[in-house]
Protein backbone atom coordinates (compact mmCIF):
# COMPACT_ATOMS: atom_id res chain seq x y z
CA UNK A 1 0.00 0.00 0.00
CA UNK A 2 1.47 3.40 -0.98
CA UNK A 3 2.77 5.57 1.86
CA UNK A 4 1.17 9.00 2.15
CA UNK A 5 3.29 12.14 2.03
CA UNK A 6 2.42 12.97 5.63
CA UNK A 7 3.44 9.48 6.79
CA UNK A 8 6.76 9.78 4.92
CA UNK A 9 7.42 13.11 6.63
CA UNK A 10 6.55 11.62 10.02
CA UNK A 11 8.92 8.67 9.50
CA UNK A 12 11.66 11.02 8.27
CA UNK A 13 11.40 13.23 11.35
CA UNK A 14 11.29 10.16 13.59
CA UNK A 15 14.96 9.51 12.75
CA UNK A 16 16.12 12.63 14.62
CA UNK A 17 16.11 14.10 18.11
CA UNK A 18 16.69 17.63 19.32
CA UNK A 19 20.30 16.95 20.32
CA UNK A 20 21.41 15.40 17.03
CA UNK A 21 24.23 16.79 14.92
CA UNK A 22 23.31 15.87 11.36
CA UNK A 23 25.74 15.40 8.47
CA UNK A 24 24.16 15.73 5.03
CA UNK A 25 26.32 13.86 2.49
CA UNK A 26 26.26 14.66 -1.23
CA UNK A 27 28.11 14.30 -4.49
CA UNK A 28 27.73 17.98 -5.30
CA UNK A 29 25.73 18.95 -8.37
CA UNK A 30 22.70 21.27 -8.62
CA UNK A 31 20.19 18.59 -7.60
CA UNK A 32 22.28 17.36 -4.67
CA UNK A 33 23.09 20.87 -3.43
CA UNK A 34 19.48 22.05 -3.54
CA UNK A 35 18.20 18.82 -1.97
CA UNK A 36 20.72 19.17 0.87
CA UNK A 37 19.53 22.74 1.41
CA UNK A 38 15.97 21.41 1.67
CA UNK A 39 16.96 18.74 4.22
CA UNK A 40 18.69 21.40 6.30
CA UNK A 41 15.55 23.54 6.20
CA UNK A 42 13.32 20.61 7.20
CA UNK A 43 15.53 19.99 10.23
CA UNK A 44 15.83 23.66 11.22
CA UNK A 45 15.04 23.97 14.95
CA UNK A 46 14.36 20.19 14.99
CA UNK A 47 17.96 19.11 15.65
CA UNK A 48 21.04 20.57 17.29
CA UNK A 49 22.88 21.35 14.05
CA UNK A 50 23.26 20.39 10.39
CA UNK A 51 26.22 20.48 8.03
CA UNK A 52 26.55 19.67 4.33
CA UNK A 53 29.62 17.78 3.11
CA UNK A 54 30.49 16.87 -0.47
CA UNK A 55 32.79 14.07 -1.62
CA UNK A 56 33.78 15.57 -4.98
CA UNK A 57 35.87 18.54 -6.05
CA UNK A 58 33.55 21.34 -7.14
CA UNK A 59 34.87 23.07 -10.23
CA UNK A 60 31.89 23.33 -12.57
CA UNK A 61 31.05 27.00 -13.12
CA UNK A 62 27.31 26.52 -12.62
CA UNK A 63 27.86 24.69 -9.33
CA UNK A 64 30.28 27.33 -8.04
CA UNK A 65 27.93 30.12 -9.09
CA UNK A 66 24.98 28.38 -7.45
CA UNK A 67 26.85 27.99 -4.16
CA UNK A 68 27.98 31.63 -4.22
CA UNK A 69 24.69 33.25 -5.22
CA UNK A 70 22.54 31.11 -2.93
CA UNK A 71 24.92 31.40 0.03
CA UNK A 72 25.21 27.65 0.53
CA UNK A 73 27.55 26.59 3.32
CA UNK A 74 29.25 23.29 2.62
CA UNK A 75 32.60 21.61 3.18
CA UNK A 76 34.61 18.88 1.53
CA UNK A 77 34.40 15.58 3.39
CA UNK A 78 38.15 15.70 4.13
CA UNK A 79 37.69 18.97 6.02
CA UNK A 80 35.28 17.60 8.64
CA UNK A 81 35.38 15.13 11.51
CA UNK A 82 32.71 12.49 10.76
CA UNK A 83 32.68 11.37 14.40
CA UNK A 84 31.24 14.75 15.39
CA UNK A 85 27.87 13.80 13.90
CA UNK A 86 25.25 11.52 15.39
CA UNK A 87 23.11 11.19 12.26
CA UNK A 88 23.94 10.93 8.54
CA UNK A 89 21.58 11.83 5.70
CA UNK A 90 22.42 11.00 2.09
CA UNK A 91 20.52 12.82 -0.67
CA UNK A 92 20.64 12.40 -4.45
CA UNK A 93 22.99 9.43 -4.01
CA UNK A 94 23.22 5.98 -2.50
CA UNK A 95 26.18 4.34 -0.72
CA UNK A 96 27.06 2.15 -3.71
CA UNK A 97 27.61 5.23 -5.88
CA UNK A 98 31.05 5.93 -4.37
CA UNK A 99 33.62 4.28 -2.08
CA UNK A 100 33.60 7.52 -0.08
CA UNK A 101 29.93 6.98 0.77
CA UNK A 102 30.59 3.39 1.86
CA UNK A 103 32.50 4.73 4.86
CA UNK A 104 29.19 5.86 6.36
CA UNK A 105 26.04 4.18 7.63
CA UNK A 106 23.28 6.67 6.82
CA UNK A 107 20.07 6.76 8.81
CA UNK A 108 18.28 8.47 5.91
CA UNK A 109 18.65 8.03 2.14
CA UNK A 110 16.52 10.08 -0.29
CA UNK A 111 17.26 9.70 -3.99
CA UNK A 112 15.79 9.50 -7.50
CA UNK A 113 18.44 7.29 -9.10
CA UNK A 114 17.82 3.57 -9.75
CA UNK A 115 17.67 1.51 -6.55
CA UNK A 116 21.02 -0.17 -5.76
CA UNK A 117 19.65 -2.20 -2.86
CA UNK A 118 20.64 0.43 -0.29
CA UNK A 119 19.60 -0.10 3.34
CA UNK A 120 18.75 2.54 5.93
CA UNK A 121 16.21 3.04 8.74
CA UNK A 122 14.50 5.58 6.47
CA UNK A 123 14.66 5.01 2.73
CA UNK A 124 12.89 7.02 0.03
CA UNK A 125 14.10 6.09 -3.46
CA UNK A 126 11.90 7.06 -6.41
CA UNK A 127 13.68 6.26 -9.70
CA UNK A 128 10.81 7.52 -11.86
CA UNK A 129 11.25 11.08 -10.61
CA UNK A 130 13.31 13.45 -12.74
CA UNK A 131 15.03 15.08 -9.77
CA UNK A 132 15.54 14.54 -6.05
CA UNK A 133 14.65 18.24 -5.73
CA UNK A 134 11.08 17.35 -6.73
CA UNK A 135 10.92 14.82 -3.87
CA UNK A 136 12.31 17.36 -1.41
CA UNK A 137 9.77 19.96 -2.57
CA UNK A 138 7.03 17.48 -1.65
CA UNK A 139 8.50 17.17 1.85
CA UNK A 140 8.57 20.95 2.27
CA UNK A 141 4.99 21.33 1.09
CA UNK A 142 3.79 18.50 3.32
CA UNK A 143 5.55 20.16 6.27
CA UNK A 144 3.83 23.44 5.29
CA UNK A 145 7.21 25.15 4.98
CA UNK A 146 7.31 28.00 2.49
CA UNK A 147 10.80 27.95 0.95
CA UNK A 148 12.91 31.08 1.04
CA UNK A 149 13.73 32.72 -2.30
CA UNK A 150 17.20 31.16 -2.26
CA UNK A 151 15.96 27.68 -1.43
CA UNK A 152 13.15 27.88 -3.99
CA UNK A 153 15.60 29.12 -6.64
CA UNK A 154 17.99 26.27 -5.87
CA UNK A 155 15.28 23.62 -6.13
CA UNK A 156 13.86 25.30 -9.24
CA UNK A 157 17.26 25.26 -10.95
CA UNK A 158 17.90 21.67 -9.84
CA UNK A 159 14.72 20.38 -11.46
CA UNK A 160 15.49 22.25 -14.68
CA UNK A 161 19.05 20.91 -14.65
CA UNK A 162 18.33 17.24 -13.89
CA UNK A 163 15.42 17.03 -16.33
CA UNK A 164 17.23 19.10 -19.01
CA UNK A 165 14.25 21.46 -19.07
CA UNK A 166 11.89 18.45 -18.97
CA UNK A 167 13.48 16.76 -21.98
CA UNK A 168 14.65 13.81 -19.87
CA UNK A 169 12.58 11.40 -17.78
CA UNK A 170 10.04 13.28 -15.69
CA UNK A 171 6.78 12.70 -13.89
CA UNK A 172 3.81 14.95 -13.32
CA UNK A 173 5.15 15.35 -9.78
CA UNK A 174 8.25 17.05 -11.23
CA UNK A 175 6.02 19.45 -13.15
CA UNK A 176 3.92 20.20 -10.05
CA UNK A 177 7.04 20.86 -7.98
CA UNK A 178 8.43 23.13 -10.69
CA UNK A 179 5.16 25.09 -10.94
CA UNK A 180 5.05 25.54 -7.16
CA UNK A 181 8.68 26.68 -6.96
CA UNK A 182 8.23 29.09 -9.86
CA UNK A 183 6.01 31.21 -7.60
CA UNK A 184 8.72 31.51 -4.94
CA UNK A 185 11.97 31.49 -6.94
CA UNK A 186 13.93 34.39 -8.37
CA UNK A 187 14.13 33.70 -12.15
CA UNK A 188 16.90 36.28 -12.64
CA UNK A 189 19.04 34.50 -10.04
CA UNK A 190 18.29 31.15 -11.69
CA UNK A 191 19.30 32.53 -15.08
CA UNK A 192 22.65 33.72 -13.71
CA UNK A 193 23.34 30.22 -12.44
CA UNK A 194 22.31 28.57 -15.73
CA UNK A 195 24.45 30.86 -17.86
CA UNK A 196 27.65 30.05 -15.95
CA UNK A 197 28.48 27.02 -18.11
CA UNK A 198 32.15 26.94 -19.12
CA UNK A 199 35.40 27.88 -17.42
CA UNK A 200 38.10 29.52 -19.50
CA UNK A 201 40.46 26.64 -18.61
CA UNK A 202 38.10 24.22 -20.39
CA UNK A 203 38.57 25.76 -23.83
CA UNK A 204 41.80 23.87 -24.59
CA UNK A 205 39.93 20.59 -24.05
CA UNK A 206 37.22 21.65 -26.50
CA UNK A 207 39.97 22.28 -29.07
CA UNK A 208 41.42 18.84 -28.38
CA UNK A 209 37.98 17.22 -28.63
CA UNK A 210 37.19 18.82 -31.97
CA UNK A 211 40.51 17.76 -33.48
CA UNK A 212 40.57 14.18 -32.14
CA UNK A 213 36.92 13.09 -32.19
CA UNK A 214 35.86 9.89 -33.92
CA UNK A 215 32.35 9.56 -35.32
CA UNK A 216 30.64 6.22 -35.92
CA UNK A 217 26.93 5.76 -36.64
CA UNK A 218 26.11 9.28 -35.42
CA UNK A 219 28.00 8.63 -32.21
CA UNK A 220 30.86 10.91 -31.17
CA UNK A 221 33.78 9.41 -29.25
CA UNK A 222 36.54 11.46 -27.64
CA UNK A 223 39.33 10.62 -25.21
CA UNK A 224 40.78 13.77 -23.65
CA UNK A 225 43.73 12.24 -21.81
CA UNK A 226 44.41 13.71 -18.37
CA UNK A 227 41.89 16.39 -17.36
CA UNK A 228 41.90 19.01 -14.60
CA UNK A 229 38.40 17.95 -13.58
CA UNK A 230 35.91 15.27 -14.69
CA UNK A 231 33.36 18.02 -15.35
CA UNK A 232 35.36 18.86 -18.47
CA UNK A 233 34.11 15.55 -19.90
CA UNK A 234 30.54 16.42 -18.88
CA UNK A 235 30.67 19.83 -20.55
CA UNK A 236 32.01 18.41 -23.80
CA UNK A 237 29.54 15.49 -23.81
CA UNK A 238 26.66 17.96 -23.40
CA UNK A 239 28.14 20.20 -26.09
CA UNK A 240 28.17 17.43 -28.71
CA UNK A 241 24.52 16.59 -28.00
CA UNK A 242 23.63 20.03 -29.40
CA UNK A 243 24.79 18.92 -32.85
CA UNK A 244 21.68 17.92 -34.77
CA UNK A 245 23.03 14.66 -36.25
CA UNK A 246 24.60 13.33 -33.03
CA UNK A 247 22.63 10.65 -31.18
CA UNK A 248 25.32 9.68 -28.65
CA UNK A 249 28.39 11.38 -27.19
CA UNK A 250 30.90 9.33 -25.23
CA UNK A 251 33.70 11.37 -23.68
CA UNK A 252 36.47 10.02 -21.47
CA UNK A 253 39.33 11.47 -19.50
CA UNK A 254 41.78 10.46 -16.79
CA UNK A 255 41.49 12.07 -13.37
CA UNK A 256 43.17 11.01 -10.12
CA UNK A 257 44.22 7.60 -11.45
CA UNK A 258 40.75 6.83 -12.75
CA UNK A 259 39.28 6.64 -16.22
CA UNK A 260 36.11 8.75 -16.24
CA UNK A 261 33.59 7.95 -18.99
CA UNK A 262 30.59 10.22 -19.60
CA UNK A 263 27.75 9.00 -21.82
CA UNK A 264 24.95 11.12 -23.27
CA UNK A 265 22.26 10.25 -25.81
CA UNK A 266 19.07 11.69 -27.28
CA UNK A 267 16.86 9.42 -25.16
CA UNK A 268 15.16 7.77 -28.15
CA UNK A 269 14.98 3.96 -27.75
CA UNK A 270 18.25 3.98 -25.84
CA UNK A 271 19.39 3.64 -22.24
CA UNK A 272 22.75 5.16 -21.36
CA UNK A 273 22.64 3.76 -17.82
CA UNK A 274 22.31 0.19 -19.06
CA UNK A 275 25.03 0.66 -21.67
CA UNK A 276 27.40 2.06 -19.03
CA UNK A 277 26.63 -0.75 -16.60
CA UNK A 278 26.95 -3.55 -19.17
CA UNK A 279 30.02 -2.06 -20.83
CA UNK A 280 32.03 -1.00 -17.80
CA UNK A 281 30.30 -2.22 -14.64
CA UNK A 282 32.40 -5.39 -14.40
CA UNK A 283 35.64 -3.46 -13.86
CA UNK A 284 34.43 -0.24 -12.27
CA UNK A 285 31.41 1.66 -11.00
CA UNK A 286 28.83 2.54 -13.66
CA UNK A 287 25.23 3.61 -14.02
CA UNK A 288 22.85 6.44 -14.74
CA UNK A 289 19.61 7.33 -16.48
CA UNK A 290 18.17 6.69 -19.93
CA UNK A 291 19.90 9.66 -21.57
CA UNK A 292 22.91 10.23 -19.30
CA UNK A 293 25.36 7.97 -17.50
CA UNK A 294 28.83 7.77 -16.02
CA UNK A 295 31.47 5.14 -15.39
CA UNK A 296 34.64 5.31 -13.31
CA UNK A 297 37.39 2.71 -13.59
CA UNK A 298 40.60 2.69 -11.54
CA UNK A 299 43.61 2.56 -13.85
CA UNK A 300 44.92 -0.37 -11.80
CA UNK A 301 41.79 -2.34 -12.73
CA UNK A 302 42.01 -1.24 -16.35
CA UNK A 303 45.56 -2.41 -17.06
CA UNK A 304 44.50 -6.03 -17.60
CA UNK A 305 42.08 -4.88 -20.32
CA UNK A 306 43.81 -2.06 -22.21
CA UNK A 307 46.88 0.14 -21.86
CA UNK A 308 45.54 3.58 -20.92
CA UNK A 309 48.81 5.18 -22.01
CA UNK A 310 48.06 4.26 -25.63
CA UNK A 311 45.25 6.73 -26.30
CA UNK A 312 44.40 5.30 -29.72
CA UNK A 313 43.95 1.80 -28.33
CA UNK A 314 42.01 3.13 -25.36
CA UNK A 315 39.60 5.01 -27.59
CA UNK A 316 39.15 1.94 -29.83
CA UNK A 317 38.37 -0.12 -26.73
CA UNK A 318 35.77 2.43 -25.59
CA UNK A 319 34.14 2.33 -29.01
CA UNK A 320 33.93 -1.47 -28.97
CA UNK A 321 32.42 -1.48 -25.47
CA UNK A 322 29.70 0.95 -26.46
CA UNK A 323 29.01 -0.24 -30.02
CA UNK A 324 28.20 -3.77 -28.83
CA UNK A 325 25.50 -2.47 -26.52
CA UNK A 326 24.20 0.91 -27.72
For residue 68, give every residue at least 6 positions away whose Cβ sits within 8 Å of its Cβ, in sequence order, or none. none
What's the average model confidence in pLDDT over 128-150?
97
Q: What is the largest CA-CA distance in the chain?
A: 58
Total number of domains in the chain: 2
Residues spanned by the domain of 130: 5-195
Task: Read off the pLDDT band of 1 (50, 70, 90).
Answer: low
Q: For 188-238, how does the pLDDT look when each residue is reduced to its tens digit (9 = 90+)?
A: 999 889 877 677 788 899 999 999 999 998 999 999 999 988 889 998 999
Quick one: 127 and 160 in the same domain? yes
CATH of the domain at 64: 3.90.1640.10
Can you tell me the distance from the alpha carbon of 315 to that of 7, in angstroms, rounded to the nearest whole number? 50
Quick one: 9 and 77 in the same domain? yes
**Burial (0-12, 13-18, 19+ Cβ within 10 Å), 186:** middle
- Average model confidence (pLDDT) for the chain? 93
What's the average model confidence in pLDDT over 267-296?
88
Closest of 174, 235, 183, 182 to residue 205, by C-alpha: 235
**DSSP state at residue 169:** S
Can you tell me the distance from the alpha carbon of 5 to that of 66, in angstroms, rounded to the nearest whole number? 29
Quick one: 269 and 179 in the same domain? no
Amino acid sequence: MPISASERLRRFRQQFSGNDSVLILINADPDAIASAMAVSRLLWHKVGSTAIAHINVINRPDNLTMIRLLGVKLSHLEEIDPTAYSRVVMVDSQPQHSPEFLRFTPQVIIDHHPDTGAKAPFLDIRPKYGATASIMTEYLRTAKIKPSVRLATGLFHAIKSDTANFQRQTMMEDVRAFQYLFKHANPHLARKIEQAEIQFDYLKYFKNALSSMRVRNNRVYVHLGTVINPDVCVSIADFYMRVNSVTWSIISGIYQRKLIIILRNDGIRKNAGKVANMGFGQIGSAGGHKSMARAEIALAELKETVDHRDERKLLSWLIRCVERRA
